[in-house]
Structure formats: C-alpha cells, structure tokens
Homo-oligomer: A and B are copies of this chain.
C-alpha cells in the first residue's frame, strides 16, 4: 500500500526545472543583445577588465568555471584576438591571461547591453521583487 502522505512529484514545481527555464529565457535575451559573445565569454572579459592579468585557473574560479571549461573559453577568445596568454615567469605551471586592446573595446562596447540584459531578464518583477529575488538567489549559490 502506497503511503498516502507522499506528495506527488510535479516537475513544473521543482526548483531545478524552474531555474532551467529561467536560464533559458535569460540566455535568449543575452543572445539577442550580444550575439557575438556567449555569456561565459563576456563574463571572462568582464573579470579580466576588472582584475587585469589573471592566472587561467584563478580566472575560472572568479567566473565560476571548471578548469576544463575556462580553458575552452580562453582558447576561443584567444583565437579571436580578444585575449592573450603568456607563461608566468615566476611559476612555470601558470598561464597568465590578459585582455587585449580589442578585448577591452569589446567589453566596453557591450557594457550597456549587459546592463540591459539584466534589466530585461528581471523585467517581469517589480523593483522591490527584483531586489528580493537577487538577494535570495545569491544565497542559493
């Protein structure tokens, strides 16, 4: 006899499913505003712009990317000339990554669009709700 107290599993009410759908909508908004860069690529440029030259793995940690993932992102950015990397003279294991002039221009040229993306993603909520949502969301990271 099944336990009558078991709540049914409703997929559309699960956090994971709702987050996946919200992320999909956000990615769609992002692509509409910045078609030539992916969110992770832009995040990487933003962090380099903010911190200057950074070790590849540290860059991955700063952008919440796996070592294997940040490598692919840096590779693609380097192939497009937005980023350059050089071995760290102090530590042969390390690779120092920096944004090129073109990379910095790319970030600056998209900064306004980036703000618009955040605004548009949160647009269904009132300003008070937006602040509340971001506060709660940050605690789930």
Contact = CB atoms under 8 A, between A and B. Distances in A.
Interface residues of A, number: 47
A39 interface: yes
10 A-B pairs with the lowest CB-CB distances in the bound complex, closest first: A21-B141, A22-B140, A133-B136, A18-B137, A124-B139, A11-B46, A22-B141, A15-B121, A21-B64, A9-B111
B137 A15 contact: yes
Interface in A112-136: 112, 114-115, 117-118, 121-122, 124-125, 129, 132-134, 136
B18 A63 contact: no
A14 B137 contact: no
Contacts of A125: 136, 139-140
Contacts of A76: none
A13 interface: yes
A140 B121 contact: yes
B7 A115 contact: yes
A39 B13 CA distance: 14
A68 interface: no
Contacts of A15: 26, 118, 121-122, 134, 137
Contact of A114 (B14, B20, B115, B136): B14
